[in-house]
Amino acid sequence: MIVLNVGTPFTTKLYGCKCFHGIAHPGVLTPTPGARVSQINSAQAVLNFPTFIQTQVLIIGGGVTGTALARDLAMRGVACILVEKDDIDSGASGRNHGLLHSGARYVAGDREAAKECRAEGEILKRMAAQTIEDTGGYFVAVQGDDERYIADFPSCCDQAGISARAVDVAMARALEPALSERAIAVFEVPDAAIDPFRLSLESMAHARSLGARLLRRARVVGFEREGRRIRAVRVRSRAGGEEFRIEAAQVVNAAGAWAREVALLAGAPIEMTYSKGTLLVTHARLAGRVVNRLRPPANADIMMPGGTVSIVGTTSTRVDALDDIYPTTAEADLIVAEAARMLPALETTRFIRAYAGVRPLLGAAGSGDGRSASRGFALFDHEAQGLDNLATITGGKLTTCRLMAERAADLVCRRLGVTRPCLTATAPLPVAPECAWTEPGRSAREWMRSHGQHDTLLCECEMVSGSAVDAIYATLRASGDTPTLRDIGLRSRVGKGACQGSFCAMRTVAHLYNRGDFQARRGLAEIVDFFGERWRGQRAVLWGEQLAQAELMEALHCGLFGEELRAEALRDTGMPAAQCADPEEELPS
Amino acid sequence: MTGARRNSFDVAVIGAGMAGMAASLFAAERGLSCIQIGSGGGILFASGLLDLLGVHPVAERCLWRSPYAALAALARDEPLHPLARVDAPSIRAAFATFVTALGAAGLAYAPLGEQNRNVLTAIGTTKTTFGVPRAMVAGADLLDAPDARPPCLLVDFRGLREFSARQIAATLGRSWPGLRHQRIEFPGSGAAPELYAAHLARALETAETRANTIALVQPLLGDARAVGFPAVLGLARAGEVHAAFEAGLGVPVFEIPTMPTSVPGLRLLRALEAAVSTRGVRRRHQASVRALAFDADDATIELDGVPGGERVHARAVVLATGRFTGRGLTADRDAVRESILGLPVEQPSAREGWHQRDFLAPSGHAINRAGLRTDEAWRPLGASGKPAWLRLYAVGSILAHQDWMRSKCGSGLAIATAWAAMEQVARALRGTAAG
């Protein structure tokens, strides 16, 4: 993995002073060492989209790795642009259980991965403490589980340097009453919960404060090659469909599960397989700690604390395509039945939502469900494939995202001749107030502490105020974006309570109209989009109380508002649905 | 047939949503002694609009101007649909009786015609409905105006979070250029960041607040030929408040229903409670059914939620317990069940088939057509395929083969099937001795 040393100072240029969403913004990067900012090209300023952009490093993919990489590079003084086809953490980064691994999960199968997790977990607990709830974790065996695995567990942990303390079962059940009375062994490990959204949003916010730039909803559609180099990357904006070119000295493919597609586009194919995982979200939090099943990795072997809820999973199914990934009823049933053996309350608890993500796994397709495939990561330099300025970083897991970014940044910096070392293992991630609204309970605390006289509470379940929405909106607008209701949902607790947005999302739309942010029929389209997306997650867990909640939601959106009669019409003329003929006219056949 | 003993009735209606209220009302109108069990909480989620049938077929999303023409088409296409099994004269009689009773209880509706009406919603869509409260009808008149829609002013109150006049005006702007919006401070609200519709409705029942509100709106009128407000114009004395606004502003005034639970839902609940109570219906609104047993000629109902418990007898029982929200149906991961008697529920074979992946999928979700099957006389079928008991009836949304949310027929389903079933009840009881 030897890299070229380009060794020349790089110029960052931004042409076209309007971003591709047509919103004026400064379009200027903060000058950084080795980078010079050009004047805006006035000829192109009249266009509503940039025709091309120059930068040192182009990062493809805004998940935990891509955003950590943007921050790492920015801290080393390297100018970079991150393009993301959707939004921050919209792939596997935002669709996992939010576990900061102690490494104990991997001690029996992959000791190196276990050690890596332990080391990285310790770093993140120090450097990104605001994104972590250091809950600790239990590994719990129940009657019928493999006695030998149980017996070997403490020494395996010991060999990987992971603390695993045996806990008296009665004591463990006193501390975590949700545990089954059929529990036979419990070990305590330093697992923790991490909020990947906040991690990525704050990494990106820090990177941006150092000059990095984020282009959301911009999909890479092509590479222009010239000899052993990628001369430019062609990117298409999802909103307007305009295409533009980005010229970068180095390109990093951090597209997660989409890394294979991106590499293929660049003419440098890599071997990857996909494993779909589904998780369920409970209505209330059932345990303080992470609760793992003490057995070899299998379905439904973990329940994570996620703020005010618990997250139960996962499944692992090989899939061939990345589109159309959604949780199924069969997966939900499997998770409930299996996890209930360790946590019986799951048989009767209320679930509010499910979600599914695709894990990018390394290596060629083989047999099995993907669990035996490596959860390690790989950095491809693509030099053997005839490319000197492309790297792909993929595989891995949430816990190791910082390390993955460090390795990719090291390669890129060697190629660029940048000698500054990685700082992310030693410099704490700055708290960015506008990124903290994903934290459960934070809105409530802020509200109690400081709400202004005219500040309105938009969500009573999660205590989201009008000023919180305003802050999120303003941050997005400042980067030239047109914020959507879904964007606000991703960056706050809007839509995350038991009502799944029935009230708060509607109030948020009204609020944005009142501010003049939404105009014409925009709100209707946003409502349809937001609840359509929420629905995908609810559908698999609609029984019991949550089915009644869904019925109420449909009674409102369809029974009263008739959104289904407008949904399609919205996309074209804005005309209402067909008016059927009365008998004096012509009856519909 | 009115000589019931203290705890013995001609009819027990289980459920106090729209169908339960309608069934109790119609029982009383027919001179049957009636006890109604259960709370009317579901009505709080109503908009006050009484749909009959707006859309058919749902998959084609066809809106109908004439609900009776739509019913004829429904009867042809979906003969199992509960509304297809009630004839038009019965539906007309049922609606007339229902609306007259509401009027007598202080909740006036516009005269029922032969046509559906369109009303504005809080998100700026238009809703096709049938029975329109008097307080909302001026809005329907504007929307259904044969020519260009006349200039109109929408007013909202700062702090009433789920209602934005600006949103409605913006959403309808293209099809209604003369629609303006203004935001005012609710008189006396101070700097309160959140206002609640029910509080405003009560406040507007005082002459002073009303006069102050009218005075704030008056200068904003301009060329407006009507003024729309969120539905907060009074609660118990809504008619008086509405009349005062029209007199004070000199133009027709209309309400737009707010997000549930709304003031029109509260008014409807109060009016229905009054309507059934004044007709002598005994109400056990805190109670739920613990056990329901039948012998040859009599049903015994054990109640929970009544101090010391209670046992009542009825010669006929009407199930109007609703669907999942009303608790008439419950679902676990495997199947949908009827909550009280475990009656067979017509339903898709597996949960994967309950809901489509697209929330707004035009054909709707199969689970919404699940429910009880009945015989010709509205008696739910037991496991044998025969009526579960000779005088057990089922009405309203618990019935199978309908999707009221997509068809816009919720009130129609409740009112029409309650009427039709009560006709059967009366016929059955006529042949037996009074209890």
Q: In angstroms, what separates the C-alpha of A339 from chain B's closest C-alpha?
A: 15
Residues in chain B: 435
Nearest CA in chain B to A583: B69
Contact A474, A521 (CB under 8 A): no
Distances (CA, A) of A378 to A2, A425, B430: 15, 19, 83
Q: What is the pLDDT of residue B170?
A: 95
**Same domain? B210 vs B77:** no
Query: What confidence category does residue A47 fall into, taking pLDDT thresholds of 50, 70 and 90?
Result: very low
Residue A361 region, left (φ>0) first, then alpha (ψ -120 to 50), else beta? beta
The total of structural domains in chain B comes to 2
**pLDDT above 90: residue B332:** yes
> What is the DSSP track for B361-425?
-TT--GGGG-BB-B-TTSPBB-TTSSBSSTTEEE-GGGBSS--HHHHT-HHHHHHHHHHHHHHHH
**Same domain? B393 vs B292:** yes
Contact B124, B171 (CB under 8 A): yes
The residue ranking higher by pLDDT, B70 or B189, is B70
- Name the residue facing B405 among A326, A456, A555 (closest C-beta): A555
Percent of chain A with pLDDT over 70: 82
> What is the DSSP track for A237-275?
ETTT--EEEEEEEEEEE--GGGHHHHHHHTT----EEEE
Query: What confidence category does residue B1 fall into, taking pLDDT thresholds of 50, 70 and 90?
Result: very low
Is any Cβ of chain B less than 8 angstroms from the Cβ of A520? yes
**pLDDT above 90: residue A495:** no
In degrees rounded to 5, what are phi and psi of residue A72? Answer: -55, -50
Query: What confidence category does residue A63 fall into, taking pLDDT thresholds of 50, 70 and 90?
Result: very high
Q: What is the pLDDT of residue A382?
A: 96
> What is the DSSP track for A107-167?
TTT-HHHHHHHHHHHHHHHHHSGGGEE---EEEEEETTS-HHHHHHHHHHHHHTT---EEE
The CATH superfamily holding the domain A99-194+273-357 is D-Amino Acid Oxidase, subunit A, domain 2 (3.30.9.10)
**Same domain? B426 vs B282:** yes
Cis peptide before B362 (omega within 30 of 0): no
Which regions of chain A carry the CATH code 3.30.9.10? Answer: 99-194+273-357
Residue A188 bridge partners (DSSP): A138, A165
**pLDDT above 80: residue A48:** no
The residue ranking higher by pLDDT, B431 or B188, is B188
Distances (CA, A) of A181 to A171, A173, A286, A299: 12, 8, 15, 21
A425: how many CB neighbours lie within 10 A of its CB? 16
Nearest to A131 by CA among A373, A382, A402: A402
Residue B352: CATH number of its domain: 3.50.50.60
Q: Does residue B112 sit within a domain?
A: no
Q: Does residue B35 sit within a domain?
A: yes
Place of tokens 């047509």: A22
Contact A252, A266 (CB under 8 A): no
Query: Which of these ranges, A198-207, A212-221, A562-571, B133-142, has the smallest mean pLDDT?
Result: A562-571
Query: What confidence category does residue A457 fall into, taking pLDDT thresholds of 50, 70 and 90?
Result: confident
**pLDDT above 80: residue A446:** no
Which regions of chain A carry the CATH code 3.50.50.60? Answer: 13-91+197-271+376-416
Q: What is the pLDDT of residue B340?
A: 95
Q: Do A532 and B358 touch (CB under 8 A)?
A: yes
Nearest to A127 by CA among A208, A69, A203: A203
Contact A377, A396 (CB under 8 A): yes
Q: What is the pLDDT of residue A274?
A: 93
Q: In angstroms, what separates the C-alpha of B293 from chain A's closest C-alpha?
A: 26
Distances (CA, A) of A382 to A158, A263, A407, B427: 38, 9, 15, 85
**pLDDT above 50: residue A6:** no
Nearest CA in chain B to A511: B161
**pLDDT above 70: residue A578:** no
CA distance B89 to B102: 20
Mean pLDDT of A39-48: 33
Query: What confidence category does residue B147 fall into, taking pLDDT thresholds of 50, 70 and 90?
Result: confident
**Same domain? B312 vs B400:** yes
In degrees rounded to 5, what are phi and psi of residue A278? Answer: -115, 145
CA distance A388 to A228: 6
Query: Which of these ranges, A35-39, A212-216, A461-465, B289-293, has the smallest mean pLDDT?
Result: A35-39
**Same domain? B126 vs B273:** no
Residues of chain A numbered 442-481 and touching chain B (CB < 8 Å):
451, 453-458
Q: What is the pLDDT of residue A442?
A: 62
Q: What is the pLDDT of residue A451?
A: 56
Q: Does residue B3 sit within a domain?
A: no
Contact B415, B384 (CB under 8 A): no
Contact B62, A579 (CB under 8 A): yes
**Same domain? B220 vs B342:** no
Residue span of the structural domain in which B191 resides: 122-256
**Same domain? B273 vs B249:** no
CA distance A262 to B342: 55
Q: Are strands A137-142 and A183-189 parallel, antiparallel or unpaired?
A: antiparallel
Chosen domain end from B256, B284, B303:
B256
Mean pLDDT of B91-109: 98
- Name the residue facing B406 among A534, A564, A588 (closest C-beta): A564
Q: What angle do CA A380, A385, A390 make, to 5 degrees?
A: 50
**Chain B positions in Cβ-Cβ contact with residue A567 (cut-off 8 Å):** 360
Nearest to A422 by CA among A439, A407, A443: A407
**pLDDT above 80: residue A374:** no
Chosen domain end from B256, B282, B311:
B256
**pLDDT above 50: residue B382:** yes
Q: What is the pLDDT of residue A566?
A: 73
**pLDDT tens string A249-273:** 999 999 999 999 999 999 999 999 9
- Burial grade of B37 (CB within 10 A; 0-12, 13-18, 19 or more): buried
B413: how many CB neighbours lie within 10 A of its CB? 27
Nearest CA in chain B to A552: B325
Nearest CA in chain A to B77: A589
Mean pLDDT of A82-88: 94
Position B25, amino acid: L
Place of tokens 């705890």: B7
- Name the residue facing B323 among A510, A551, A580 (closest C-beta): A551
In degrees rounded to 5, what are phi and psi of residue A381? Answer: -95, -10
Query: What confidence category does residue B431 fall into, taking pLDDT thresholds of 50, 70 and 90?
Result: confident
Helix (H, G, I), strand (E, B) or coil at A30: coil
Distances (CA, A) of B104 to A426, B27, B257, B274, B278: 76, 17, 22, 9, 10
Residue B149: CATH number of its domain: 3.40.50.1860
Place of tokens 């222009």: A224
Contact B379, B388 (CB under 8 A): yes
What's B156's DSSP letter? Answer: E
Nearest to A154 by CA among A180, A185, A125: A185
Residues of chain B numbered 152-191 and touching chain A (CB < 8 Å):
159, 161-164, 166-167, 170-171, 173-175, 183, 191
What's B345's DSSP letter? Answer: -
Q: Supply B252's token pair.
A: 């027709």
Q: What is the pLDDT of residue A361?
A: 86
Is any Cβ of chain B less than 8 angstroms from the Cβ of A347? no
Q: What is the pLDDT of residue A443?
A: 60
Query: Which of these ranges, A21-35, A215-229, B249-263, B375-389, has the smallest mean pLDDT?
Result: A21-35
Query: What confidence category does residue B398 fall into, taking pLDDT thresholds of 50, 70 and 90?
Result: very high
Query: What confidence category does residue A434 fall into, taking pLDDT thresholds of 50, 70 and 90?
Result: confident
Is any Cβ of chain B less than 8 angstroms from the Cβ of A579? yes
Q: Does residue B261 sit within a domain?
A: no
Question: In this prediction, does ipTM exceed 0.90?
Answer: yes
**Chain A positions in Cβ-Cβ contact with residue B333 (cut-off 8 Å):** 332-333, 336, 543
> What is the DSSP track for B140-151?
HHHHT-SSSPPP
**Same domain? B278 vs B352:** yes
Q: Does residue B204 sit within a domain?
A: yes
Chosen domain end from B227, B256, B285:
B256
Q: What is the pLDDT of residue A575?
A: 38
Mean pLDDT of A545-554: 93
Place of tokens 């379009």: A27
Contact A469, A446 (CB under 8 A): no
CA distance A576 to A567: 9
Contact A286, A349 (CB under 8 A): yes
CA distance A109 to A87: 34
**Same domain? B19 vs B84:** yes
**pLDDT above 50: residue A30:** no
Mean pLDDT of B198-224: 96
Residue A464 bridge partners (DSSP): A459
Query: Which of these ranges, A110-119, A128-137, A493-502, B349-358, has the smallest mean pLDDT?
Result: A493-502
CA distance A254 to A392: 6
Residues of chain B numbered 310-349 and touching chain A (CB < 8 Å):
323-325, 327, 330-333
**Same domain? B200 vs B127:** yes
CA distance A35 to A213: 14
Nearest CA in chain A to B323: A548
What's A94's DSSP letter? Answer: G
Q: Do A524 and B325 touch (CB under 8 A)?
A: no
Q: Do A333 and B166 touch (CB under 8 A)?
A: no
Query: What confidence category does residue A373 fall into, taking pLDDT thresholds of 50, 70 and 90?
Result: low
Nearest CA in chain A to B55: A580
**pLDDT tens string A302-342:** 999 998 899 998 999 999 988 889 999 999 999 999 999 99
**pLDDT tens string A103-121:** 999 998 888 889 999 999 9
CA distance A202 to A474: 16
For residues A426-451, one letter each, b for 16 or more C-beta atoms within 10 angstroms of the residue's C-beta and e for the rest, the string is eeebeebebbbbbbbebbbebbeeeb
Distances (CA, A) of A9 to A416, A417, B239: 8, 9, 78
Q: What is the pLDDT of residue A463?
A: 77
CA distance B68 to B260: 28
**pLDDT tens string B165-197:** 999 999 998 889 999 999 999 998 887 788 999
How many angstroms separate the most distant Cα atoms in chain A? 85
Nearest to B23 by CA among B434, B429, B368, B424: B424
A453: how many CB neighbours lie within 10 A of its CB? 8
Q: What is the pLDDT of residue A10?
A: 33
Residue B282 bridge partners (DSSP): B35
Q: Does residue B110 sit within a domain?
A: no
Q: Does residue B316 sit within a domain?
A: yes
Position A343, amino acid: L
**pLDDT tens string A459-483:** 877 778 888 899 889 888 887 778 8
The CATH superfamily holding the domain A13-91+197-271+376-416 is FAD/NAD(P)-binding domain (3.50.50.60)
| Radius of gyration over every alpha carbon of chain A, rounded to an integer in angstroms | 25
Query: What confidence category does residue A2 fall into, taking pLDDT thresholds of 50, 70 and 90?
Result: very low
Contact A397, A419 (CB under 8 A): no
Is any Cβ of chain B less than 8 angstroms from the Cβ of A503? yes
